[in-house]
Amino acid sequence: MGVNETQVVHLALRELAARVLPQYEADEGPLTPVQCKQIKETAPKGMGGTYRSRLLDLQRPESDGTSG
């Protein structure tokens, strides 16, 4: 077949995922600025009254001056 062990595992996982995981229809793409604003206005605020605009935002929240 001409593939190494790692490639076989990747192919098997891809096939398993295609058979087992649900397949969703494509959505309408990214949210519009108006939709983002509506979400920000209606979503509950987290601790400190801030929200994250990205899932993997690496910025740390500002310190409140206390340690611990």
CB-based contact 45:51 (threshold 8 Å): yes
pLDDT score of 23: 84
The per-residue pLDDT for range 6-51, each reduced to its tens digit, is: 999 999 999 999 999 988 888 888 889 999 899 888 887 777 656 5
Distance, CA of 38 to CA of 16 (rounded, Å): 38
28/31 Cα distance (integer angstroms):
8
pTM above 0.95, yes or no: no
